[in-house]
Amino acid sequence: MQSVTRQDLLDTALEKLADGTVSHVLGWSRGTFDYEATPTLFSDPDTLRTAFVWNDFCGANLSKYLIKHTRRLEGRLLVFLKPCDTYSFNQLLTEHRFERERVFVVGVPCNGMADPRKLKAQADGILSVTAEGDTLSVETLYDGTRTLAVADLLEERCLTCKSRRHAAYDLLLGEEGEVQDSARFDEVAAIEAMSPDERFAFWQKELSRCIRCNACRDVCPACTCEQCVFGNPSSGVENKAASNEFEEKLFHIIRALHVAGRCTDCGECSRVCPQGIPLHLLNRKFIKEINENYGVYQAGAEVGTRAPLVDFTLDDPEAETVVRRGDDA
Amino acid sequence: MRKCALSVMPDLLRAVAEATPLYLPVDTDKGDALFTRWFEGADWSGACNTARGPKDLFFPQTEDLVAFKTAGKTVEVLDIRREQEDFVVFGVRPCDVKAIEVLDRVFLSEPVDSFYAARRNHALIVTAACSRPTETCFCGTFGIDPTALCGDVTVWKTEDHVYWQAATEQGERFLAALDGFLEDADDTAVTAQRAQTAALLSRLPLHSLRADAFGGGKTEAFFDHPAWDTLSQSCLGCGTCTFVCPTCQCYDIKDFDTGHGVVRYRCWDSCMYSDFTKMAHGNPRLTQKERFRQRFMHKLVYYPENNDGLFSCVGCGRCLAKCPISMNIATVMNTLGGDAR
Ligand code: SF4
Ligand code: SF4
Ligand code: SF4
Ligand code: SF4
């Protein structure tokens, strides 16, 4: 269960619309089923009242939409951001993707979001889902009404949440959380501990499932190039198909390199992948390397910081140290 | 009608696979199922449907068409086509069988796509009737009865038996070859199961979704509908919906420079992409709204207009399950359907 209610968010949005602070509200509405939410832009209070949702399925990070909407619309936009989303927000500001004054950030505390995939693995033929405290009451076609604990359905990124403290907001609803002592690098360490052959086999198996739909890229708040190299037919690389096995891996490696130092580990890539590929592990590997070689750095923790990979300080390790450490791994 | 015990299925499938390459839905360790070439120990998945349809077996995501070898000023055209062998696709769901019909009308009408035709001519399709539909299923919207006979052969799986019936001559021959495994059966169990499934289908959340408002001749009714703005507003333009769709048929043709020649290949394309149908002046659909509209107008209006009213959505529900923002053809139909101008 979330600690602030839909009504709390709704009241705030209606108030800010009414007093003219903002002209639009970026939030979520119910998707096709109760366990899904669609990012939605509201301007009409009545639509907001009927369609707005805030529940355990509002995983979608809204920050990237701010680029598009601030360009398209006049006025100021209210956006609801969960703690992890605020890191993306700051990173986008650092990269000058939109103007801070155009956005009114309402920070919402988050107790973790439920993963529809985990829900569907446990319940077949879901007709409705209703939140009841820390559990979900799930009406199914085959097993009657089931009661499932939200804690057992949390998204992977929520189980390894890095921070429940917002990195930015104009108005905070509810209680502020803390930066978490996250075990998010454990899985990366497990992959590092594999032999090179095992590691190759691991990624070979995962990445060979990729259908190159590009959802990971399109949802990624760090992927904001006006023209992605993989969407440019003249670039010589293919965006819609892997012409061979090598290119299949190349897409992911290039993308991971492009976002290295800028990826906030928001986890959207893994959330949207229709093939269930654990893409976040690639990006986390880079974060772990950066932390170990250049000191702990969290992209999006503040606005305007220079990421270690695009900065030079006298304390930087010598290139050969980095290379040697890489060899050892 | 014929039947066999469920327990003999592994032996039966092995016998099929030994005679002809066999593809069937097999569970992956990701909790979904995919059409997989039979291997010793491959279990026929009980999943409602595969994560992707059998489209890949007829129209693969990438496919080499022809190669060119250059030497000095000469260009040699190499025919790299291979003989297509016979194969069996077992366990195709009725929506996906309909999806093949949608593809047939595109690829088998003049000019016939010889690559696709070769695969179709060598394939035998065994349909697996549905008995456990899930919330994303809405095949009924497009007039599909997922319990009925279709494909070359249909199987109905009950608790302990599999019932078989041929729908085509080719199917009869296929069943004759399996005679040792099968015995005669009446249709009592199948009839009972069909009634039970029909009751389940009527309880699905999308059961009442109707396609009547759409079809050929409706371009003007829907093209400028104001709802396209809001419907497409959060679309990422990713293309997941097109790549998991069993009826999406668009492809691009590209040349791959091998260093000493060129391989010309085709790969699936997506109307959701900014370089789709890009011409000298650019993509004729400048915004995501136009690209989004194209996908749904094609499924619901343009395709039926050119194909005797047949819709090119079969209600398989894959795009519902996979869209990162939960926006899909069912929502589009619901929003536009009651409000045709
Ligand atoms: S979202 Fe998944 S399947 Fe799609 S391109 Fe990314 S890794 Fe591949
Ligand atoms: S993949 Fe690379 S080039 Fe493309 S948008 Fe992302 S960062 Fe930019
Ligand atoms: S409708 Fe959904 S799956 Fe299709 S392109 Fe848009 S966001 Fe991606
Ligand atoms: S549009 Fe969606 S529901 Fe319709 S056939 Fe394609 S994937 Fe299936």
Which protein residue has the closest C-alpha to ligand 1 atom 3? A210
How far, in Å, is the centroid of ligand 2 from the Cα of B53?
Answer: 30
Alpha-carbon distance of A116 to A153, in angstroms, equals 8
Question: What average pLDDT does range A314-324 have in this prediction?
Answer: 76
Q: What are the beta bridge partners of residue B2?
A: B164, B184
Q: Quick one: closest CA in B to A123, which residue? A: B134
Flag whether residue B204 sits within 8 Å of chain A, measured between CB atoms: yes
Alpha-carbon distance of B276 to B282, in angstroms, equals 9
Q: Answer whether residue A246 shows pLDDT above 80.
A: no
Measured in angstroms, the CA of A164 and the nearest CA of chain B are apart by 24
Of all residues in chain A, the percent with pLDDT exceeding 90 is 80
Question: Could you tell me if the CB of B237 is within 6 A of ligand 3?
Answer: yes
**Out of A117, A219, A240, whose CB is closest to B236?**
A219
Alpha-carbon distance of B11 to A318, in angstroms, equals 63
CA distances from B140 to B92, B102, B148, B197 (A): 17, 16, 12, 12
The pLDDT-based confidence of B41 (bands split at 50, 70, 90) is: very high
Flag whether residue A151 sits within 8 Å of chain B, measured between CB atoms: no
Measured in angstroms, the CA of B30 and the nearest CA of chain A are apart by 7
- Each residue's pLDDT tens digit, B171-216: 999 999 999 999 999 999 999 999 999 999 999 999 999 999 999 9
Q: Answer whether residue A242 shows pLDDT above 70.
A: no
Of all residues in chain A, the percent with pLDDT exceeding 70 is 95
Q: Answer whether residue A248 shows pLDDT above 90.
A: no
**Out of A38, A121, A142, whose CB is closest to B325?**
A38
Domain residue spans in chain A? 6-114+159-172, 116-153, 186-310
Alpha-carbon distance of B281 to A325, in angstroms, equals 50
Ligand 1: nearest atom to the Cα of B238? 4
Residues of B in contact with A124 (CB under 8 A): 48, 132, 134
Beta carbons of B275 and A211 less than 8 Å apart = no
How far, in Å, is the centroid of ligand 4 from the Cα of B137?
Answer: 10
Question: What average pLDDT does range B290-308 have in this prediction?
Answer: 97
> Helix H segments across A160-299?
186-192, 196-207, 215-219, 245-259, 268-272, 280-294
Which protein residue has the closest C-alpha to ligand 4 atom 2? B319
What pLDDT is stored for residue A329 in this prediction?
Answer: 45
Burial B26-40 (b: 16+ CB within 10 A, else e): bbbeeebbbbbebee
- Each residue's pLDDT tens digit, A87-126: 999 999 999 999 999 999 999 999 999 999 999 999 999 9
Question: What average pLDDT does range B321-340 have in this prediction?
Answer: 90
Enumerate residues 6+ apart whose C-beta is below 8 A from B71.
none
3-state secondary structure of B232: helix
- Each residue's pLDDT tens digit, B1-10: 999 999 999 9
**Out of A33, A39, A213, whose CB is closest to B135?**
A33
What pLDDT is stored for residue B230 in this prediction?
Answer: 95
Structure tokens at A173: 């609803």
What pLDDT is stored for residue B28 in this prediction?
Answer: 94
- Each residue's pLDDT tens digit, A124-167: 999 999 999 899 999 999 999 999 999 999 999 999 999 999 99
Flag whether residue A233 sits within 8 Å of chain B, measured between CB atoms: yes
How far, in Å, is the centroid of ligand 2 from the Cα of A229?
Answer: 6
Evaluate if pTM is beyond 0.80. Answer: yes
The pLDDT-based confidence of A243 (bands split at 50, 70, 90) is: low
Question: Could you tell me if the CB of B144 is within 6 A of ligand 4?
Answer: no
Q: Answer whether residue A169 shows pLDDT above 90.
A: yes
- Range of lowest pLDDT (A207-211, B142-146, B314-318, B320-324): A207-211
3-state secondary structure of B54: coil
Which protein residue has the closest C-alpha to ligand 1 atom 6? A216
Beta carbons of B61 and A275 less than 8 Å apart = no
Instruction: Please report, as a single letter, which amino acid is at residue B146.
Output: P
Q: What does the DSSP 8-state code read for residue B302?
A: I
Strand locations in chain A, DSSP E?
Answer: 24-30, 37-42, 52-53, 77-81, 103-107, 126-132, 135-140, 145-149, 171-172
- Each residue's pLDDT tens digit, B79-102: 998 899 999 999 999 999 999 999
How far, in Å, is the centroid of ligand 2 from the Cα of A234?
Answer: 15
Question: Could you tell me if the CB of B240 is within 6 A of ligand 3?
Answer: yes
Question: What average pLDDT does range B113-131 have in this prediction?
Answer: 97
Q: Give the closest ligand to the alpha carbon of residue B329.
A: 4
Q: Answer whether residue A241 shows pLDDT above 80.
A: no
Question: What average pLDDT does range A204-223 have in this prediction?
Answer: 93
Alpha-carbon distance of B292 to B273, in angstroms, equals 10
